[in-house]
Amino acid sequence: MSFGVVKNPSLVKAFGVHLRHLRKERGLTQQALADEADLSWPTIQRMEAGTQSATIDVLGALAKALQLPLAVLMTFPEADG
């Protein structure tokens, strides 16, 4: 299954690392985060792996599920590449 071309793979990968950190910091499994954000588990898995980027509505759902402002979700060091 194809999800389109990722235009900035290093940014998507860095976001995935950040998302995984935030999720684990809150003691959530990928499934628990998916349930809280009303997303599928494979979507969380692909985002954390850096193979799928998130739309703004998905970012909003993740921020709400993680109980943090969208700005915090989007503040992370970008990987070199």
Domain count, the chain: 1
Q: Is residue 48 part of a domain?
A: yes
Q: Is residue 47 part of a domain?
A: yes
Total-model pTM? 0.89
The CATH number assigned to the domain holding 68 equals 1.10.260.40
User: Which amino acid makes up residue 40?
Assistant: S
Written as tens digits, the pLDDT of the chain (81 aa) is 445 677 889 999 999 999 999 999 999 999 999 999 999 999 999 999 999 999 999 999 999 999 999 999 999 987 554
- Give the structural domain span for 65: 9-73
- Residue 6 has phi, psi (to 5 degrees) of -85, 120
The Cα–Cα gap between 6 and 50 comes to 9
